[in-house]
A and B are shown apart, each in its own frame.
Chain A
Amino acid sequence: MKRFSVWITYLQVAPLALVFLLFLVVPILTIVIVSFFDYTTTQIIPAFILQNYEELLFSETTWKTYLQTLEFTAIAWALTLVIGFTVAYFVAFHVRSPTMQTVLFLLCTIPFWTSNVIRMISWIPFLGRNGLANSTLMSMGLINQPLEFLLYSNFSVVLVYVHLYTLFMVVPIFNSMMRIDRSLLEAARDAGATGWQTLINVILPLCKPGIAIGSIFIVTIVMGDFVTVRMMSGGLSASVGLMMANAMSLLQYPAAAANAVVLLLVVLLVVAAMLRLVDIRKEL
């Protein structure tokens, strides 16, 4: 009987394990293997060479692109953290009725279930040369010619990151906040803490796991992004993802694979650093 139930357990988890094996583990191994392959303009040739890595790591463009990507990541992380924390704090501690909390929380999450590409496009009539932002500012007399940096610039890239991904901060931080025992806040107040002191010394430390989970999402998404950079910068900015996509479109698969391996290592290092702060399995 005991042995039988073990088989049932394995059977239950098999479909999930199979998908991860076939579509995660094997493809990543493929990337690693192909990154050592040789290639010509038309085909890839099985080999074991380090040339792809040498060309990648000794190129100044690579370093610049990685720096640019890290810069985007850092800015997006800081903005989504501050905005996400504030929004979650308001809903968790300043909205009193649980129904209202659920409604406001859903209001924040619904855009997550709609298309990112569409949400990017929808900034065009807002930020364009003749867009809403410029025409409003001009009619208010604040500027006398359209601001060019609004669309197709690093500004619009970061704006869209914040627009698309703040939610990834809101949800885990809100989850952490809702688990905070309210009597702790009362104790802090009784001990004479101001609202601000309670926030800094009680709430913030207890939200660390949520912050870490949100940060992991933001870092991995922004580090691997290329659609946003391509669409919102109009080809003016670079990112690691875009660099890989360009190599792919030139059929330089091993070069793209080597870049992918390096990117993966960088992302995993950052995530490992963050995971030291939190045990994800405890948070569910």
Chain B
Amino acid sequence: MQHGKRGPAFYFLGAFFVLFVLFLYGPTLTILVLSFQGPTGGLTFPMVGVSTYWFTNLFERQMVGDFAGSFQRSMILGVLSMLVTVAASFAAGLAFRARFRGSAVIFYLAIASLIVPSILISLGIGLLFRVLGWDPTWYTSAFGAHLTWTLPFGLLIMFAVFNRFDRRYEEAARDLGATSWQTIRHVVIPILLPSLIGVGLFGFTLSYDEFARSLYTAGTFNTLPLEIYGMTTNVTTPVLYALGTVTTGVSFLVIGVALGAVILVQRRRARHGSDAGKAA
């Protein structure tokens, strides 16, 4: 299987893989094309000319709902989720290397947070705020709801990362007289930087795209996915696709920046050796 000539199985599976990738990306590419539909064009092919009409439409008029506001809220929420997810998962990852009472409980809570259906968490937080007489808002209840989705991913990634982390680097740092904080700041963080960027990517994108957990927690002001969902029921022009293209564009930009940063860190390492400890 690993050696010699490619058999028919390879070509069959290869074709299957190509079809799967087409299946994954095809629809998104379709709306990318259709978002450049001419001003008189409709929701499906044929294209009636090519224009950026629907994009200007998206940014100009307020008739399509509060795109700018919801976009801004989702960006802020995404960045907040990213920062908290990276910090809290990294700290918890450090903690889980030691044995402590309650570690199993917290681990199972993280798993539960992943497998309890999103809509139940949304419903629960919404009910909780209602019972307490608080108003749900996107930066309190929805923020917490998003963290219950991003943190388990962050924690599990940190587990995997620390399982492969060589503790001798830390011992070496300690032997050289570094304090615990210096060891973390100048040894552990630089070595784990690519993984931390990965956790950040999860934190941002999972929050930015989250729908179900925002549903009963966002309160008066919609986040972007809620706004888009609202639009699907009453907007029947390609402006919907323009919105899809812009949102997906933002996601790709974030993914691109994260992957680029990881590659950059690894290149630097290949050139200089590990830069752990070199930072002033």
Residues of A within 8 A of B (CB): 5-6, 8-10, 12-13, 15-17, 19-20, 22-28, 30-31, 34, 44, 83, 86-87, 89-91, 93-94, 96, 104, 106-108, 110-111, 113-119, 121-126, 128, 130-132, 135, 163, 166, 182, 185, 189, 195, 198, 216-217, 220-221, 223-227, 231, 241, 244-245, 248, 253, 256-257, 260, 263-264, 267, 271, 280-281, 284
Cross-chain contact of A115 among B1, B115, B248 (Cβ < 8 A): B248
Residues on A with C-beta less than 8 A from B16 are 86-87, 90
Residues on B with C-beta less than 8 A from A87 are 16-17, 20
Q: Flag if A19 contacts B117 (CB, 8 Å).
A: no
Q: Flag if B109 contacts A135 (CB, 8 Å).
A: no
Q: How far is the CA of A244 from the CA of B216 in the complex (A)?
A: 12
Instruction: Offer 27 A-B interface pairs, CB within 8 angstroms, sorted by A.
Output: A5-B98, A13-B91, A17-B106, A23-B144, A24-B112, A86-B16, A108-B21, A110-B255, A114-B209, A114-B252, A115-B208, A118-B28, A121-B240, A122-B244, A125-B31, A182-B2, A195-B9, A220-B114, A220-B115, A224-B117, A245-B119, A248-B126, A253-B127, A253-B130, A260-B119, A264-B116, A267-B116
* Chain A: CB-nearest residue to B144: A23
Residues on A with C-beta less than 8 A from B109 are 17, 20, 24-25
Q: Flag if B209 contacts A30 (CB, 8 Å).
A: no
Instruction: Scan residues 70-92 of chain B and give those whose CB is less than 8 A from a CB of chain A.
Output: 84, 87-89, 91-92
Q: How far is the CA of A256 from the CA of B127 in the complex (A)?
A: 10
CB of B124 within 8 A of chain A?
yes
CB of B247 within 8 A of chain A?
yes
Residues on B with C-beta less than 8 A from A216 are 115
Mask of B5-29 contacts with A, CB within 8 angstroms, 1/0: 0010110011011001101111110
Q: Flag if A104 contacts B100 (CB, 8 Å).
A: no
Q: How far is the CA of A199 from the CA of B222 in the complex (A)?
A: 49
Q: How far is the CA of A25 from the CA of B13 in the complex (A)?
A: 44
Q: Flag if B91 contacts A118 (CB, 8 Å).
A: no
Q: Flag if B212 contacts A227 (CB, 8 Å).
A: yes
Q: Flag if B91 contacts A198 (CB, 8 Å).
A: no
Q: How far is the CA of A154 from the CA of B127 in the complex (A)?
A: 31
Query: B interface, by DSSP: helix, strand, loop or mixed?
Result: helix
Residues of B within 8 A of A (CB): 1-2, 7, 9-10, 13-14, 16-17, 20-21, 23-28, 30-31, 34, 43-45, 84, 87-89, 91-92, 94-96, 98, 100, 102-103, 106-107, 109-121, 123-128, 130-131, 144-145, 147-148, 151, 155-156, 159-160, 163, 180, 201-202, 205-206, 208-209, 211-212, 215-216, 224-225, 228-229, 232, 240-241, 243-244, 247-248, 251-252, 254-255, 259
Tally of A-B residue pairs with Cβ under 8 A?
Answer: 264
Q: How far is the CA of A231 from the CA of B27 in the complex (A)?
A: 16
Q: Flag if B117 contacts A223 (CB, 8 Å).
A: yes
Least distance between B260 CB and chain A CB atoms (Å): 13
Q: Flag if A23 contacts B148 (CB, 8 Å).
A: yes
Q: How far is the CA of A272 from the CA of B99 in the complex (A)?
A: 25
Least distance between A127 CB and chain B CB atoms (Å): 9
Q: Flag if B30 contacts A16 (CB, 8 Å).
A: no
Q: Flag if A19 contacts B27 (CB, 8 Å).
A: no
Q: Flag if A27 contacts B45 (CB, 8 Å).
A: no
Cross-chain contact of B115 among A94, A111, A227, A267 (Cβ < 8 A): A267
Q: How far is the CA of A90 from the CA of B43 in the complex (A)?
A: 36
Residues on B with C-beta less than 8 A from A86 are 13, 16
Q: How far is the CA of A250 from the CA of B20 in the complex (A)?
A: 41
Cross-chain contact of B117 among A24, A83, A182, A267 (Cβ < 8 A): A267
Q: Flag if A94 contacts B127 (CB, 8 Å).
A: no
* Chain A: CB-nearest residue to B20: A87
- For the complex of A and B, the 10 pairs showing the least CB-CB separation, nearest first, are A224-B117, A27-B124, A122-B27, A12-B95, A23-B144, A13-B95, A113-B205, A90-B13, A12-B91, A114-B251
Q: Flag if B120 contacts A185 (CB, 8 Å).
A: no
Q: Flag if B160 contacts A15 (CB, 8 Å).
A: no
Q: How far is the CA of A34 from the CA of B132 in the complex (A)?
A: 12
Q: Flag if A132 contacts B87 (CB, 8 Å).
A: no
